[in-house]
Amino acid sequence: MSKKTINAISPTRSENYPEWYQQVIKASDLAENSAVRGCMVIKPWGYSLWENIVRELDDMFKATGVKNAYFPLFIPLSFLEKEAEHVEGFAKECAVVTHHRLTQTEDGTLKPDGQLQEPLIVRPTSETIIGESFSRWVSSYRDLPVLINQWANVVRWEMRTRLFLRTSEFLWQEGHTVHSTAEEAIERTRMMLDVYAKMAEEYLAIPVICGQKTPSERFPGAIDTLCIEAMMQDRKALQAGTSHFLGQNFARASNIKYQSDQEKEEYAWTTSWGVSTRLIGGVIMTHSDDDGLILPPRVASAHVVIMPIIKKEKDRAMVTEYTEQLAKELRDQSYHGRPVRVELDSRNVGSKNWDWIKKGIPVRVEVGPRDIAENSVFVARRDQSHRLRQSIPKDQFVSELPGMLDDIQQQLFQRALDFRTEHSVTIDKKDDFYNLFTSTDENTIHGGFAHSFWCGSPECEAHVKKDLSVTIRCIPFDSSNDSGPCIYCGKTGTGRVIFSKAY
């Protein structure tokens, strides 16, 4: 019982993982539910995390020749209908605008008025509305490739929502490209998946498996969907990003044609790819512990907090001056090409240290009169026990902070990778497979990623999903070429796939 009280988050992960997740978000002040069904409010601490992700991704996109643009929020219903699989995939979760004004009724209340001739859909994704522009932008092979990205909000009406992971409105980027050959489009699809993998592993410290979705899990209308899949601490998978090769499906739907260098008119080949605020959910569930959020330094809202310790009024001026100077020195340092982000928390509240632990800031520094006398600072790392604090000469700390942040980043990645390794199993027997996902014995490994064979039939996939709520997360690119019995039907399949429960 005494052990329990030392954790800042209640319940703990092992007690109730979904509830722990909500409490970590609340305690760290990342976001909250709004009064609008399924829509979240991203609070400053959460939004700055998103800003950092956006900035890094945006640089990576631009380095591959992509340019940003902006397209309408609304999609005419008739546009959505142009691609049959696409509309089927999104029809059940569309916010539909039907009127363009409000009029006062006789009892003084307002009602929708000015009915639109054609309903407008609030974009759930923008292939069809962007395709309409592309059809006008592209006429010759000389206009290709078109490499466009949009940072935007999208809406997919959800009945059961969870902050960051599944919300009716979310923020994302959607890349859309047009090419003259299938090969080039396929290459782009993979290139952008690699960018996502780099973001996940090198910035978010989330190890991911890169692979291909099975046909039943593809984006509606795509020929091929590639994805990055991560393991959360409850051993469920999180699809963290997808990149789609759309073939000529959307080019046909939107009439994107070009004159080839042989002067033949041909349909173009398109791709689309996106990541969203869901990545923040991934960060929370990969790294955080029973004391709250843990942020990977490269995208952390702030890197370090300085907490002046002032117990006697006579020390105030000296401690304030010293800590402000320290903040300045730290801000002049750079970490991976960006200035070090520093918070200076001068509040006089007892909860200060724990507030920052719960907010997941990578490094905490306490500075009181005694530290100043020794020209040293008292330092704690969020990736280590909150009891582990260390006095370091101030100048040494300033110069070593970027290295310390690097080390924290690396530790978080390694810890997550070890966790995934520990909870990944190679299984060839159906009984073992079913046991893995149904066992409730705390002392055996259960859940996680099962590397198993699959015969390729959608029926086997459907049975497993129905029985266990387990899906094929992906066919990994680095899957070996050996063969074995399909985990459901026993027929031969080639190359192991990854089965898991998922968000």
Q: Binding to a copy of itself by residue 172, rule CB under 8 A?
A: no
Choose which of 79, 219, 413, 433 interacts with a copy of itself (CB under 8 A).
Answer: 79
Q: Which of 9, 24, 57, 94 binds a copy of itself (CB under 8 A)?
A: 94
Contact call for residue 85 and a copy of itself (CB under 8 A) = no
Q: Under DSSP, is residue 331 helix (H, G, I), strand (E, B) or coil?
A: helix
Q: What's the 3-state SS for 278-290?
A: HHHHHHHHHHCEC
Q: How far is the CB of 163 from a copy of itself (least distance, A)?
A: 12
**99 lies in the site for a copy of itself, by CB under 8 A:** yes
Tokens representing 68 are 């940003």
Query: Which residues ranging from 126 to 145 are in contact with a copy of itself (CB under 8 A)?
Result: 129, 132-133, 136
100 contributes a contact to a copy of itself by CB under 8 A: yes
User: Please, which of residues 149-168 interact with a copy of itself by CB under 8 A?
Assistant: 152-153, 155, 157
Q: How far is the CB of 171 from a copy of itself (least distance, A)?
A: 7
- Is 216 a binding residue for a copy of itself by CB under 8 A? The answer is no
Among 8, 95, 318, 417, binds a copy of itself (CB under 8 A): 95
Contact stretch for a copy of itself (CB under 8 A) within 6-14, 44-52, 198-206, 489-497: 44-52
Q: Which of 24, 171, 210, 294 binds a copy of itself (CB under 8 A)?
A: 171
- Residues 484, 197 contacting (CB under 8 angstroms): no
* Minimal distance, residue 439 CB to a copy of itself, in Å: 38
User: Binding of a copy of itself at residue 92 (CB under 8 A)?
Assistant: yes
- Rounded Cα distance between 210 and 285, Å, is 19
- Interface positions, 22-41, toward a copy of itself (CB under 8 A): 32, 34-36, 39-41
131 burial type by CB count under 10 A (0-12 exposed, 13-18 middle, 19+ buried): buried
The two structure tokens encoding residue 120: 């407008």
Which two three-digit tokens encode residue 365? 């520094």
Count the neighbouring beta carbons within 10 Å of the beta carbon of residue 123. 26
Among 14, 98, 325, 399, binds a copy of itself (CB under 8 A): 98
3-state DSSP call for residue 133? helix
At CB < 8 A and 24+ separation, what contacts does 275-278 make?
275/57, 275/172, 275/173, 275/196, 275/199, 275/240, 275/241, 276/154, 276/170, 276/171, 276/172, 276/173, 277/42, 277/50, 277/164, 277/167, 277/170, 277/171, 277/172, 278/164, 278/165, 278/170, 278/238, 278/240
Task: Report the C-alpha gap between 476 and 235 in whole angstroms.
Answer: 18
Three-state SS for 205?
coil
- Count of residues interacting with a copy of itself (CB under 8 A): 63
**Shortest distance, CB of residue 70 to a copy of itself, whole angstroms?**
4
Of 186, 129, 174, the residue nearest 148 (C-alpha): 174
Binding mask 349-368 for a copy of itself (x = CB under 8 A): --------------------
468 binds a copy of itself (CB under 8 A): no
Give the integer Cα–Cα distance in Å for 106 and 413: 63
CB of 233 to a copy of itself, least distance (A): 26
- The whole-angstrom separation of Cα 63 and Cα 40 is 32
Interacting residues with a copy of itself between 57 and 76 (CB under 8 A): 67-76
Q: Rounded to the nearest whole angstrom, what is the least distance from the CB of residue 65 to a copy of itself in the complex?
A: 11
Residues that bind a copy of itself (CB under 8 A): 32, 34-36, 39-44, 47-48, 50-51, 67-77, 79-81, 87, 91-104, 109-112, 114, 119-122, 129, 132-133, 136, 148, 152-153, 155, 157, 169, 171
